[in-house]
Amino acid sequence: MAADSMEIDDSLYSRQRYVLGDSAMHQMAQSSVFLSGMGGLGIEIAKNIVLAGVKAVTLHDTKQCETWDLGSNFFIRKEDVLSQRRRGEAVCPRVAELNPYVHVDMSSSALDDNTDLSFLRRYQCVILTEARLSLQKRVNEFCHSQQPPIRFIGCDAYGICVRVFCDFGDEFEVSDPTGEEPKEIFIQNITQDDPGVVTCMDNQPHGLQTGQSVVFREVNGMEELNGTARPVSVLSPHSFAIGDTSQLQTYAHGGFFVLVKSPKTYRFETLEKQLCDPQVLIPDLSKPEAPLQIHASMLALDTFQEQHSRLPNTGCVQDAEVLLKLTEEVNATLRNKAPVNTELVRCLSRTARGTLPPLAAAVGGLASQEVLKAITGKFAPLQQWFYLDAIEVVRPLQSLSAEEFFPRGDRYDGLRACVGESMCVELHKLRVFMVGCGAIGCEMLKNFALLGVGLAKNSGEVCITDPDLIEKSNLNRQFLFRPHHIQKPKSTTAAEATREINPDLQVDAHLNKVCPATEGIYNDSFYSRLNLVVTALDNVEARRYVDCRCVSNQRPLLDSGTMGTKGHTEIIMPNLTESYNSHRDPPEEEIPFCTLKSFPSVIEHTIQWARDKFENLFAHKPSMYSSFWQTHSSAEVVLQRMQTGESLEGSFQVIKLLSRRPSQWKQCITVARLKFEKYFTRKALQLLHSFPLDTRLKDGSLFWQSPKRPPAPIEFDLKDTLHFTFIVSMARLLAGIYNIPYSEKDLSEEAVTRILSDVKIPEYQPSEKCIETDETAKKPDHMKMPLSSEEEREAITQLEQAIDTGVTPERLQMSPLLFEKDDDSNGHMDFVASASALRAKMYSIEPADRLKTKRIAGKIIPAIATATAAVAGLVALELIKVVGGYGFESFKNCFFNLAIPVVVLTEPAPVKQTLIRDNIYFSIWDCWTIFGHEDFTLSDFMNAVREKYGIEPTMVVHGVKMLYVPVMPGHSKRLKLTMQKLIKPSVDRRYVDLTVSFAPEADGDEDLPGPPVRYYFSRNGETP
């Protein structure tokens, strides 16, 4: 079967397709992977690559399920331990359930220094976890020597240290090292010179590097450049040289260039060669030597195992000293080395038998992405080692007694060996609120279950909330959900699945949105019971709101997010760090109204135009229509009121819809045909009438020059599938909003042709209306515009005619449609894709396929399980530090891009202290409090603030309402009014947060800001 003829199940894989692209997806679907070791790290990798959709995976493991496996492997259950099942047997069916397209089998044969390795030839990638170094070397040599080489990945996790090693052969070709989509950048000028210099329009940065190549399109004048690729030499962020252009024609105007993606070859050495001269990635720039220090320590750990046939004993000082001596010996043999880190070696020795599930999740996400790179050649591979330690998690615990870390025969023994019994108990007692149960939410719940966060017997609890239902496209990365869960609520389903991993967890699942409307549920007393809040959200607005609530209630917040292979984590600690709202991303640039309406230049403009058309025709107008007739009881009443000269908001638009309302399927087809004419023929004719091709601006330059593209009218042709799709999809959507029945037969080409043969297209008459060309102009709101007397008369006549023909209750109803991008049977995407493609054709814009159109129209965020698993693991590591009450210096924020790959760990931004004056400081976490009573006046409030905080208030504001601004007329009278009367709190309101400004030290200076002042309506802070 040819690779490209394979169907990709878009309903399952759509979010991942946007990350990897179809070519990589096809290659995965033909690749077999061998994965050895079903511990915490192995099961993470198995989950991620099966979700991604490889052809086949063999899970290899020779061990039996033990109690402590329950704390690291989320697919092993208590009954597996009791019935003494093998780990491979236990997990194989559960891994297979994750993706019906992947064949999962298991093997429990011995894999050691004597095994014949020829069986590995049927795999494209081999991953070893829990394997001794000697075996890793042997398997790697075998893989490297094959033609073509089998890609090899070795992964290990011992206590606080993890490593990943990659060897993809002598020459590994990568089709696309970054995965970034090249942008079309418009040209301002190209000089006729040697070298010729290209300048970008509007000083846009080109983002190029010297040595890359660009291809030119649509250049006027210097037309020889079109379609050719030229290597660039960067001169500035906005200009670059492209070699000799002196013999070409003079540049006139227009054109754009696009970066040419060129494949890159990577060279790998074997594990044996890389041991003494390792090439490492440095994730934490505050400790650049750490990777080499972990390298030496983990090699010494392997030697320790060779010599003693065991790992160092937990808390054994002698073993730690032996390991330290071995590390020094190993380090002496390395070419690329750093000084031995004694603390790291001792911590590794103490925790080597243990396991930190979040660390396995974080590095498992990275290693899984390397597996996908190995079999697809998409994205730059890791060269060649990745090391990470979690020393910050265990550093403050070193003074605890050895008994703290000893096993107790339960599922937490692995964790206990790392963080001790007291920390385990604190985790069990934790009360967490997690907002969102999508991809990050599922991964977080898995970490909670393995860490034992929120156990019922310790009065702990994990409260989760998410209003969404499960859709098929979620199953590709929200790994707690299965096909039979589709259309069930995410939160309750995730809670059930989490209790399967750890039955002792107390999970309370809600279906609410967290927003001002639910503040009655998630009120201050709710937050006061929590230890911390975790966000697993996919939008900035919700994060901002949750952040405000956490700051107001002094609660730590752990935030994270992903976009494709990129991820970030942010830790927000009361009084230590800045909050989420302390930094603002620049707002998304809006496409100017006139560009969308008349002058699109790139495909994004035509897609947005089509999406706006859908919203206006099938959602906004039907909603407005229905609510109008709910307000006004009958057509007759509306007519009487209009005849008496009353103006009713929206009446003109509503009556127009009523008078033109289709009642049969064939009228829907007719309307669609007339809309085709309006959008794709007349729009072009009108624009060319208003601005003929030779139109010039005041400065003498051409009106129609880049980025403006002159349109060409499209002649309707039913034989053209694009034209046919537009007519049928639009007619179906019209039938949907007007509740008009139609049959499958009505959609046939024959039936549509028959209806269209009777449709008369009126002759085109150009109008003299003004076309907006100002890029700063906003879209006018027709609802708010006053009607002309002519429009009023027209509306009255239309309404009279409608009443004469009979206005039934059905005619006063319309059903708005909610845009649903993932259901291909509803015609929504058919309409948007065909309308966008026709408009692109009309303006000679390179069209986009349906997949890209769907991503842009549906504002889909590309997503893949590897990145999701990694961010959740990193967040859960920080959670342990929060529970331990660690200091500022131990916390880490992270940004990563698994594609490149780059991982950057940094300290959070420390909280800023703002000076009010004379040693009075405040930060975002401060809140001053004043307790009042029923008769407490505004004047009393001002005095109370002055007495308590030693500073003169000058202005008091509540939300957007100004309570007291001295310069405002009448405000001085308010000083005598009670706070109750001024604020008018709701019955159950205990307090309000007021914004208070303070008097400057010198006259004429600005008023000084201060923290919010929380005013309680009663002396004890209870409800008045």
Active-site residue list: 594
Which tokens is 819 given?
């845009």
Task: Encode 558-575: b = buried (16+ Cβ within 10 Å), e = exposed.
Answer: bbbbbebbbbbbbbbbbe
Which tokens is 498 given?
């989490």
Whether a cis peptide bond, with omega within 30° of 0, leads into 148 is yes
What's the rounded Cα separation, in Å, for the pair 969 and 973? 9
Alpha helices in 632-692 (DSSP H): 635-643, 651-659, 665-677, 683-690
Rounded to the nearest 10 degrees, how much is the dihedral formed by the CA atoms of 14, 17, 22, 23?
A: -150
Q: Residue 96's closest CA among 559, 482, 449?
A: 482
- Tokens 């692209």 sit on residue: 21
Q: Are 783 and 623 in contact (CB under 8 A)?
A: no
Q: Residue 567's closest CA among 389, 274, 369?
A: 369
Q: Residue 439's closest CA among 401, 468, 411, 418?
A: 468
- In the chain, the amino acid numbered 658 is L
3-class secondary structure, 880: helix
What's the rounded Cα separation, in Å, for the pair 10 and 22? 10
What's the rounded Cα separation, in Å, for the pair 375 and 983? 64
Q: Residue 111's closest CA among 192, 164, 177, 35?
A: 35
3-class secondary structure, 533: strand
What's the rounded Cα separation, in Å, for the pair 281 and 797? 76
Which tokens is 528 given?
């006061």
Q: Residue 515's closest CA among 536, 489, 545?
A: 545
3-class secondary structure, 547: helix
**DSSP assignment of 334-401, as one string?**
-SS-----HHHHHHHHHHTT-B-HHHHHHHHHHHHHHHHHHHH-BSPPP-SEEEEE-HHHHGGGTTS-
Q: Are 588 and 556 in contact (CB under 8 A)?
A: no
Which tokens is 172 given?
């590994």
Q: How many CB atoms lie within 10 A of CB 897?
A: 21
Q: Are 775 and 592 in contact (CB under 8 A)?
A: yes
At residue 318's C-alpha, the angle toward residues 317 and 321, to 5°, is 90
